Amino acid sequence: MPTVTTPDGAEIFYKDWGEGRPVVLAHGWPLHSDSWQVQQLFLAANGFRAIAHDRRGHGRSTQTWHGNDMDTYADDLAHLLDALDLRDVVLVGFSTGGGEVVRYLGRHGTDRVRGLVLVSAVPPFMLRTDDNPGGVPIEVFDEIRRGSLADRSQTYRDLADGPFFGGNRPGQEPSQGIRDAFWLQGLQSGHRNALECIAAFSATDFRPDLDAISAAGVATLVIHGDDDQVVPIDVGGRASAERIAGAALTVYPGAPHGITDTHARRLSTDLLSFCLEVPS
């Protein structure tokens, strides 16, 4: 099982498929790299080296007691890129993974990266505060925390059956397989890790990271569904696209949060088109 070892001893699992220019895919909460398997296979079959890792505390990576925060996630990603000596990378982040890749760029710079894609991503800043009045109230995240502590398995079932894939909307019928995969992947994360990750994705302010990306001129594509009930498009995609100079915004009409599954084919095609366009 391929892993890299971080300076604090955490083993970070990764899958490395195909040959060509590298595309690195960062997953959402509480999932792991298998959530990217459709897009990873498609990109690898079309001339790219597609790499997806399990964030610490998730999937097959070490369930550390410490380091369940965005700075450490970004440092782990930096360690992976350095260990594999990846260059001219296109970074792709879904949901929490969008925060991870953005914090990586803000913290470690753009030397290894040529392109960025944010998919249903949590930046610029999810939490409602005085200087972010359009954000999501903290009570929403507190309820997820309470549910996780009371019955984590059922909480993941409820998320998968409801807002994550839009199954609570008329006309949306995510398959049982998609919902089961969410539940299974979620339970493979560490309880503490997944619980603390809620604060990492909801209360981390990525606005300075986006400003740094904007100043560096990184080619950026933002993809977001306009019926995302987890990261509302005005909080996530539209706000990020407005903050990064030159960023392109692609809106999936009526799409929920989990478009890696519900819109897998279209997302794969859009990622491939962007990767082919980004200069090395």
Domain range list for the chain:
3-277
Residue 99 identity = G
Tens of pLDDT, residue by residue over 189-205, are: 999 999 999 999 999 99
Give the residue among 186, 178, 164, 171 at the shortest CA–CA distance from 38: 178
Whether 148 is catalytic is no
Upstream peptide bond of 133 is cis (omega within 30 degrees of 0) = no
Give the residue among 30, 40, 54 at the shortest CA–CA distance from 272: 40
What does pLDDT average to over the chain?
A: 98
Tens of pLDDT, residue by residue over 188-244, are: 999 999 999 999 999 999 999 999 999 999 999 999 999 999 999 999 999 999 999
Q: Which two tokens stand for residue 162?
A: 């409801």
Count other Cβ atoms within 10 Å, centred on residue 4.
Answer: 18
What is residue 136's DSSP assignment? B
Whether 95 is catalytic is yes
Cα(31)–Cα(186) distance, rounded to whole angstroms?
5
The residue annotated as part of the active site, out of 34, 76, 209, 228, is 228
Tens of pLDDT, residue by residue over 69-106, are: 999 999 999 999 999 999 999 999 999 999 999 999 99
Tens of pLDDT, residue by residue over 103-159, are: 999 999 999 999 999 999 999 999 999 999 999 999 999 999 999 999 999 999 999
The residue annotated as part of the active site, out of 257, 261, 263, 270, is 257
What is residue 149's DSSP assignment? H
Q: Does domain 3-277 have CATH number 3.40.50.1820?
A: yes
List the alpha helices (DSSP H) in 188-246. Answer: 191-203, 207-216, 237-243
The residue annotated as part of the active site, out of 95, 120, 202, 268, is 95
Q: Answer whether 0.95 is exceeded by the pTM.
A: yes
Whether 228 is catalytic is yes
Q: Based on the number of CB atoms within 10 Å of its own CB, is 19 exposed (0-12), middle (13-18) or buried (19 or more)?
A: exposed
